[in-house]
Amino acid sequence: MSVFARFAPRLQAAIVGRLGWSALRPVQEQAGEALLAGDNAVILAPTAGGKTEAAMFPVLSMLVDDGLEGVRALYIAPIKALLNNQAERLGLYTEMVGLRRFVWHGDTPAGDRARFLREPAELLMTTPESLEVMLVSRRVDTAKMFADLRVVVVDEVHAMAGTDRGAHLMSVVERLARLSRVDVQRVGLSATVGNPAAILGWLKGTSKRQGRVVDPPKKPGTKQLLVVYREGLGDLTRDAAKAAKGRKSLFFCQSRSMTEAIAEQLRRAGTEVMVHHSAVSREEREIAEQRFHHGTDVCIVCTSTLELGIDVGDLDRVLQAEAPDTVSSFLQRMGRTGRREGQAANTTFFCETTEGVLQAIAVVELAKSGWVEHVGVENRCWPVLIHQLLAMALAEDGVGAEKAWEHVSRVPDFGGIGRDEFDRLVAWMLEDGGLRLASGRLVLGPKAEKRFGRKNFMELFAVFTSPQSYQVVTEQGVPVGSLSQDFVDQLVDGVSLFLLGGRAWAVQRVDHKDRQIRVEPAPRGKQPTWGGFLPQFLGATICGKIREILCGDETYGYLDSRAMQVVMERREEMREVLTEQGGVEIREGEIHWWTFAGGKINATLKAGLQEVGGDWKVIPDNFVIKIRGESLNERRFAEAREKLKDKRFWEDEKRWSEIAEELPNYRLSKFQPLMPKWVEREVVAGYLLDVVGARRWMGE
């Protein structure tokens, strides 16, 4: 029997009569088989490939006429914009079979929420943070509402797995699963992920259901690719304006500052432009999405906010400033085009650096080979463990330590944390004031209440820090201006320099309590180096591909003549260093070690070289490690490399513990002030270092 024939008759009639469909796509057939059989599943299909229907049609079929009450299905998305975007579609699908859907997030009016609580819809569309609010709120009877919860669908699952938000999602899902009378079915939707089986294992959690990856063969479609090189932003945007003219385009940028700069240049060139990034107000972003949806000659300049599956209608062009950091992002972005019959998926890269050209080639060539990044699955996610302890302590007037452990031990993202470590953390938080004991139960302590208690603990409900402004003042108290929180979170006391008001400032200290940054003028002649910023790492595979491109002699048909010229010039510059000198370049007083190992491995090699070299100053980036020092010479550097090849060097836990102690104290989580030093060191070291990867790379 076909999958369609197994759908509820009411759904069959609606698919044919209301939607006018004559057949299901292969991904919908295979997903229907898996979900109707009761399996957990990860469903993979390109953007606009029918993933939503592949998941929701079987789910709705299972809900029709089941006679149960309360929320029976959850649709969870990583961002509110995606919920809003899907609301109309899922509203149609539920309505046509006699069911209802409700969208609950931070912008949902209080009156609508109250009506939902009185009479819950069968399908709840929400975010992990909003689910947390429901679990903590005394106005929500979650035990009754979710008693018959049957299925959780997680859209864009690759965007959450392996992150703090993913750990938070899984913790919330496990809390909901304990309220349900059934083994809650888990479904993840994604366009691009390199290790879907691992994501399925993570998503499964404590569910005992069978698991299935739904990944039907994809029909190879026509692709149009072009990499353009221009020396300045003015030339680059003039050509980009020509490419965008008369078409609907998305122009992706790697930073908000680049987004604003390119948007301004495009406006000067006469292009109708809208800007879409996280610092733009929600109203402005929605206006951009609506105007774009109904326009024919408009360009949205955006960051990754439009990379996820938000539908802005049929696209003509995807433009890209420089190159994305991952193959996954490239495929997601290109996948926004080529949806109409006869249209090719396309991306035009506009680069003003040689590095951008090389990175564009690398992501394209890796994508052509079928390679996509694996999503790392976390199992020692300390920031979210602390967050969940606070959330459980706030709910139901406290939680017993035993009950708290029983829950966190069920969450895969905490699976590598032992009971002794958990008890040590709780003891620290009790002593430090993050928690306190009341009648044998853990409740919020004075330190946590002071930090997160404002506005009914709304700051606590989000794993990520909500945007705030920090005042920049001199040591004498003279105001200089303000900076946004995400910028401030990357600053390091006594290290970072930044520009504000046309002047360079040196950070003395950041006071997160008073939201102030104390600065003094940067020393004359010392320009902002951004050295104190949280590093943005490229992966080892992409960097290795760039080395392969430089060592080869292949020409690429999708490069314009100037782009190919800069590749040839860089090959000529690097050929001797990479082939004859093994990547080691001797300069006056300095050695450049061209590893092409990626930022995280290079940062780890830096720590190793400083440990061996003693007085050496080591500066790494994604491709090269620069070393200088009075005692540095070729012989000593060769000896240092030999020491780094010894596996015992990497297995010395005491050495790496001491190295972790000396790492810059980057602010990676708003829960860092509640962490004991031993946890904070592990979190920072986990971001900055890859000891296993560095050891493997040295062995190769």
Rounded to whole angstroms, how far apart are CA atoms 693 and 688?
12
Longest dimension (CA), the chain: 81
- Of 301-310, 337-346, 560-569, which one has max mean pLDDT? 560-569
Q: Give yes or no for a contact between 335 and 47, defined as CB atoms under 8 angstroms apart.
A: yes
Query: Nearest-CA neighbor of 204 among 170, 178, 157, 241?
Result: 170
- Stretch 624-649: mean pLDDT, rounded? 92
Degrees to nearest 5, angle at CA 487 with 425 and 524 = 120
Which helix (DSSP H) or strand (DSSP E) does residue 289 occupy? helix 282-294
Whether domain 382-461 has CATH 1.10.10.10: the reply is yes
Query: pLDDT grade, residue 320 (50/70/90)?
Result: very high
Domains in the chain: boundaries: 3-214, 223-368, 382-461, 467-574, 581-699
Q: What pLDDT is stored for residue 280 in this prediction?
A: 44
696 contact partners, CB below 8 Å, separation of at least 6: none
281-300 per-position pLDDT tens digit: 455 556 666 666 666 677 88
Which letter does DSSP use for residue 412 in this model? G
580 contact partners, CB below 8 Å, separation of at least 6: none
SS3 123: strand
Q: Identify any residues that bridge with 228 across adjacent strands, giving them in sequence order.
A: 350
Both tokens assigned to 132: 């947390």
SS3 519: strand
Rounded to whole angstroms, how far apart are CA atoms 148 and 182?
7
Measure CA of the first residue to CA of the last residue in the chain; give whole Å: 53
- Stretch 565-587: mean pLDDT, rounded? 92
Q: What pLDDT is stored for residue 424 in this prediction?
A: 98
- Stretch 537-554: mean pLDDT, rounded? 96
Query: CATH number of the domain at 223-368, please?
Result: 3.40.50.300
- Which residue shows structure tokens 């980057």? 666
pLDDT at 676 over 60: yes
- Which residue shows structure tokens 């039907």? 216
Q: What pLDDT is stored for residue 289 in this prediction?
A: 62
Rounded to whole angstroms, how far apart are CA atoms 698 and 183?
46
pLDDT at 529 over 50: no
613 backbone φψ class: left, alpha, beta (φ>0; ψ -120 to 50): alpha
Rounded to whole angstroms, how far apart are CA atoms 190 and 205?
18
Q: What is the share, in percent, of the chain residues with pLDDT greater than 70?
A: 89
69-127 per-position pLDDT tens digit: 899 999 999 888 788 888 999 999 999 999 999 999 888 898 999 999 999 999 999 99
Q: What letters, b where the CB count within 10 A reaches 16 and e where it falls short, cover 324-359?
A: bbbbbbbbbbbbbbbbeeeeebbbbbbbbebbbbbb
pTM for the full model?
Answer: 0.85
The reply to whether 382-461 shares the fold of 223-368 is no
430-480 per-position pLDDT tens digit: 999 999 999 999 999 999 998 887 666 776 776 654 445 678 888 888 887
Q: What pLDDT is stored for residue 465 in this prediction?
A: 45
pLDDT at 532 over 50: no
Distances (CA, A) of 6 to 24, 37, 64, 379: 13, 11, 13, 39
Rounded to whole angstroms, how far apart are CA atoms 682 and 604?
14
pLDDT at 527 over 50: no
Q: What is the 3-state secondary structure (H, E, C) of 475-493?
A: CCCCEEEEEEHHHHCCCCC
Q: What pLDDT is stored for residue 371 in this prediction?
A: 95
Fold of 3-214: Rossmann fold (3.40.50)
- Residue with the bigger pLDDT between 171 and 303: it is 171
Q: Give yes or no for a contact between 432 and 446, defined as CB atoms under 8 angstroms apart.
A: no
Q: Give yes or no for a contact between 252 and 324, defined as CB atoms under 8 angstroms apart.
A: yes
pLDDT at 306 over 90: no
Q: Identify any residues that bridge with 124 across adjacent strands, giving them in sequence order.
A: 74, 102
- Stretch 195-199: mean pLDDT, rounded? 95
Both tokens assigned to 63: 């809900």
222-264 per-position pLDDT tens digit: 899 999 999 988 888 889 888 888 888 889 988 767 777 788 8
| CA dihedral for 630, 633, 635, 641, sign (positive or negative) | positive
